[in-house]
Structure 1
């Protein structure tokens, strides 16, 4: 005795929605990374280099081969200084 296909429709709809939402989130993450694959296990060095790239190019994952820094880059120091004790 077979199973009526009407009983399987909710499972097909749920599976389709999970597949669609997974693919959509993957595409959004891909677009947010500038067309590059997502990064995992980012340590402090990687964060520092990604912040430098963001300050140079305007994109978190962007890179440039220009040896000269853009105007104003010397003033955008990422270091946070403590206040002087007076």
Structure 2
């Protein structure tokens, strides 16, 4: 005895929605990284360099080969300053 196809429709719909959601999240992550693949196991050094790249280019994963920093880079200090406790 066969299984009526109506019983398999919910499974097909769920599989389609999971596939669509996975593809959409992958595309959003790809767009957020400036068209580059997502990074894994990012340590403190990588975060520091990515922050520097963001301050130089405006994008977290952007890189530049210009040897001279753009105007205003000297004012975008990466050091965080805390207020003095009196």
TM-score normalised by the shorter chain: which range applies?
over 0.9
Matches within 5 A, 1:3-42: 3-42=3-42
CA RMSD of aligned residues (A): 1.4
Q: Deviations over 1:7-51 (max 9, x none)?
A: 000000000000000000000000000000001111110000000
Total equivalences in the alignment = 86
Question: Hey, what does 2:46 align to over in structure 1?
Answer: 46
Alignment partners' CA distance in 2, 1:40 and 1:23: 19
Structure 2 length-normalised TM? 0.93
Structure 1 length-normalised TM? 0.93
Q: Which residues of structure 2 form unaligned runs of 5+?
A: none
Alignment partners' CA distance in 2, 1:15 and 1:70: 49
Q: Which residues of structure 1 form unaligned runs of 5+?
A: none
Question: Hey, what does 2:69 align to over in structure 1?
Answer: 69
